[in-house]
Amino acid sequence: MKRLSAFAAALLFVVLLFSAVPDSFATESGGGAYPLGAEDFMSGAVPPPGTYFINYFLYYHGTKFRDGNGNRIIPDFDLKGTANVFRFIHITKHQILGANWGMHIFIPFKNTTVTMNGRHESKAGLGDIIVDPILLSWHSKNWHFAAGLDVYLPTGGYDKNSIANPGRNYWTFEPVLGITYVSDNGWDVSAKLMYDFNTKNTATDYRSGQEFHFDYTIGKKIGAWSLGLGGYYYKQISDDKQYGVRVAPDGNKGQVLAYGPQVKYDHKNMSFILKYQTETLVENKPEGNTFWFKFVYAF
């Protein structure tokens, strides 16, 4: 009962914070479907059989928009986004190919405000839900691996005339590979690698290019605390196309590198994570900073 009461209190807290993932630019309407930088410590180490809840809360603010040469454009550009994402994970006792078999679902709520080219718009609502019914994980003394295929469902609201949509109006299929190495003295080197395949937005006949990105962390566990440096790298691989024709001379291909400090505190069946990320090497995207708070609960 104490565990359920703590969980209920935390869940109420994040519901009251209700918010959402910002849509960055590059690809149509900006960025990819995945909220860059979401994962951190032990990102390749899926927990043992059981049921888990993770809440992701983020705030992003970008005041610069870079073109394909890294030059600042759109003088009045301003993007603010908050996000609250509920993630539920269930790991079964069954094994496939020697791996623990699990599944997860992400349910995002978004609140995005965009100012650009004299327009100002703000929208909030349900974003695109993510599901993966076959999440596999392997474990050894120092190494941990996870693999899956996350599917982004076009469940969020979308209006082709809007510049602040909660949804993207197309499907994304994302193979995922998580890797974690934990040394005997507590060092943690982790990465979550992803590659996105996007379907066509039927409302605009726009197909966003394929995207490669990864979250990374280098950290050290000291008692109940973990301290580290982490962030993400994003590189769009193929061109955006509309009506079957490449968009812009460079295909509107985006790029960004982010880094910053992060800290984690473990208490009984819960973990609390704070992190800050700042962006650089930006092309065809906004440039800004992100603040994250994560809450992890094991039932």
In this predicted structure, what is the pLDDT of residue 249?
87
The string of pLDDT tens digits covering residues 69-117 is 999 999 999 999 999 999 999 999 999 999 999 999 999 999 999 999 9
Weakest mean pLDDT among 16-25, 156-165, 179-188, 248-257: 16-25
Count of the separate structural domains present in the chain:
1
The string of pLDDT tens digits covering residues 40-78 is 999 999 999 999 999 999 999 999 999 999 999 999 999
Question: How far is Cα 183 from Cα 279, in angstroms, rounded to an integer?
Answer: 29
For the cut 90, the answer to whether the pLDDT of residue 6 exceeds it is no
Reported as a pLDDT band with limits 50, 70 and 90, residue 27 is low
In this predicted structure, what is the pLDDT of residue 31?
67
In this predicted structure, what is the pLDDT of residue 264?
98
pTM above 0.85, yes or no: yes
In this predicted structure, what is the pLDDT of residue 163?
87
Question: How far is Cα 124 from Cα 21, in angstroms, rounded to an integer?
Answer: 10
Question: How far is Cα 66 from Cα 132, in angstroms, rounded to an integer?
Answer: 34
CATH at residue 288: 2.40.128.130
Both tokens of 55, joined, read 């809440």
Range of the domain at 258: 2-298
CB atoms under 10 Å from CB of 75, counted, come to: 9
- For the segment 26-30, the average pLDDT, to the nearest whole number, is 61
Q: Could you tell me which residues are beta bridge partners of residue 176?
A: 148, 194
Question: Based on the number of CB atoms within 10 Å of its own CB, is 122 exposed (0-12), middle (13-18) or buried (19 or more)?
Answer: exposed
How do strand 119-126 and strand 99-116 relate by DSSP bridges? antiparallel
